[in-house]
Structure 1
């Protein structure tokens, strides 16, 4: 992408002697977000660094710092935390909590639409975080799926308070509307004013999109979508897809009411309403977000305890403790106790061979029992050891063990299958597809479950193949003001550093060309295509206006005019010119194409009119007509005194009489347009 993560000068840089930048995560309209290491606290953080070309724009700097202040005032498990803020070398930055995972937009692109339970789960978590912001008097004003982060460990967080403002600052935004057009409330479109109810409207649009997989309003131009927000009623999700519960239809209708007074007044009211409807859950199960970890749990419907559901066991749940009842070592349950007064057993008489005395017999019996118990215990230990070894083998290197799914993104499908099967995993026969702005079309984009997840051996893994970047319709670019084009492209594409050149056909700050990168990696003229891949690099060529007109200026005046626009006065040559006074510029030319700042402009300076020496040949001795023709051919005017001889009236005397001299005389220097008087004998 011309300037991509691999060549980003920020990679590897140490900021404020504390934050080591590791890699680039994302790029937005105001800033780029990097993964960094806080070397002081030895933890990973996300650091947002404002674009360098915005450093001189005070409005952007204030908005950037406002984001840090707004977010730093909030502390909630469902909000991205802000750790630090500062500036270095005129570059402002914000240090935030790093959330490894995906965005809600990524989830929607992968699954298209979510189940009502999943949508409710995510909405409740976002409302919890937003309620904390509304309680602190902060309106987000830019709610969209890109700003909802779904962490790998199940947490759901709301971030990017770059457009946040205090709820008392409800004035119009001026010439441009802030926020993404697809989620703007009617009052933002018509009046440019926003409060907490504007956030609720955006959440209603997000809920509709989660349930249906698409936004309610579509159009070729942003203003068409804005018009629908201002004048139409958002349709019910159940009209687009089946299986949406009436409760969620009502929630979308309530949140997206065109009149702000008909919506929930803030996120807390909407969250409390959802909590009141918890018992009327959608489907057989309901989804709950458990705080503070925000883990998702699927609970039986009905709201009862463990034993209140249909078919639930009546007995209490088993505990982890097991009671052990000790055996009375003094009593053998297998035979009656022999007390001190118990009758003795039969005696063996000494006459019987090998006969034992009663006391010896009792000792022999006791020893035998102990040996049997020892062998039994040993057998139990051996069996338990074998069972433990078998279990360890099964759940270790054996078929029942756990393995981590290898990373196969960017590889071919066959390579991915080999890597997965080498880990003891099965690959699903059918592959999925999704748009991917990074991985080339036809290569593996991801796996389901995701890479690095720990699963049982033998688990079926589905390979998801990249369809390449999602193609997005391009707006009008060439001939449009730079600010308009930048605003239209910045959300969907990666804008590179603009190129500037002089153009005689376009006013200053007008886009005269746009280039991207084709599928073959070659330069692509975006004015020749109607759609372009999402997050693709875009380089805009911007007009600096025409090269200053230097004709008629002195060299000093021309030098000053060129300096003002970044051009340099080059070679100077001189020539005679009949119409331009001496010392003024006759013409200018530039060798570079295109003409950019730093190009040199060569000039031709006038030496005044061309000098002419009055010749003798063709003048003196020639007839008056011949001399007149010669001098006029040199650009001179000719004056002939009238003939006073009476004979001149009887013949063509100018064609007969010879010229005897001139005034000025022969050899004199004159200039084009000067008058020469001829002398002749009458």
Structure 2
């Protein structure tokens, strides 16, 4: 499995053949069965015939691979991904183009995906969820430091090796999404929407632009899913889900699982804030926050208001668009073109209607009481003209007075606006890159007060110098106001802790607490360190390194077992040399006569088989050969007497007549002769005279 998607059934089970199966790509990769398929590529198990190893080959779908411009982008991003050397990133070995087939050769990870774990275990405890998300965020942090954004973080792209591979968690598909999305639209109706919609950050939905904080958002959604077993936003269509990402906050996990501490809710809220300025700047910052929360969980902390307040995103006023959405709950979702068109047409017509007139104070006549018919006016008589007396009209002062008042009001408003909007402000001086004391003096000279904020690490600004200010240099600040200074702690570095003698679990916990990353663990035999204990680390203890630097462990397998052979019946000197060469101690516990084992050979060995360990003792009993007895003088003795004496000494007796036999029946000579040393059981021949 590689590429982070569900394993497919074999080709014959689907009833169709795959033209790539059996093909040799680039003269090197023999394509085997397809093991996964996604929206942009298929993944095959393959054999690297040059290095004789199993790899995963990701092949772009023809619709993408045929585009030369896309292929070039894909190659560039593949090279960037290949530069990521991290224990939790799927390694990229090779890339190529074989007659239009654009492919990647990657590390093959047999096992399952994080999606399978979610199906089986979720909802899970916060400690378990953080242990699964921590390697993912660690991999993203390494990518962000290298300037690479994943853009498609989801459980399907998190691979978990089987037991044979140590269950290691690795993130796949770095660089692929960026290659595809370079010139495509992130809309519901046109182009390609890169990234699974359930994990898309709001800014990707709105304008298609993203940075490291989009990966942070996706990781926060995955953490929510681990904690609750559900995705935070559901809908009948991908468009509805995308709409909710833009307009709805991710709910607190404790609403679904009440036992979750408030500071875990705050961690999820910070990572999934819709306003990306409220999120951690990149995965490295999120990883640090995860370490803090994990430590609180390990310490059994039920509630930590200070940690919760530190992690929770600050409340900001909603944007104008959001206010309009809230005030008009009849508006359809903006991603439905037809509904939006109907809505706009309806609202436009409504806005064109004349405004309703104010009600008339007098009551209108009712139907029951018809209006009275006016009486005809009486006829007037012709009137005689009467002279009109006129007087001089007095000039009204109301107009100039009102004008003066308006002018004064406008002047007051303008003056107030000038004062409140400009005059009472000054410009924040530039105090970056100087010492705290110098910055404070500069602010004091400008009539401003200095407040020291939380210091931060910096790779570019030396420790003790001002890293930033709030407001920033050049921004407006109230006269006699306060400027918060952020002082640099210098590069963030941590010492590798002393891990020798710890168990592997203890060492990994110590590495995590030191804000470093767990690397590979290699087992080696040791005659001095107990099995299961750490022998040493790489980098070595006391080495000062960057945060999230992988620390590899060498773990003792205990004493090296030594298998031995049974040397019984073999030359004792040869056996001693062979055993001592294997760092064993040989002890000859005795020498014995043996009628069956030759002199100098091993009669017995203890123990006869292993395993033994360096310095253990092997005991040998060495043969002296058969026991020898001197043949006595038998001449002139009778046959019976000589026979009895020799048999008593352990000999066999044979009787023969000598060449000079004359019938006396006495022993004339023996063979072997008298005085010879002969092994017991040997035959002594008596020659009679």
TM range (shorter): 0.3 to 0.5
Greater helix content: 2
TM-score by length of 1: 0.41
Answer with 1 or 2: which has the greater Rg. Answer: 2
TM-score by length of 2: 0.41
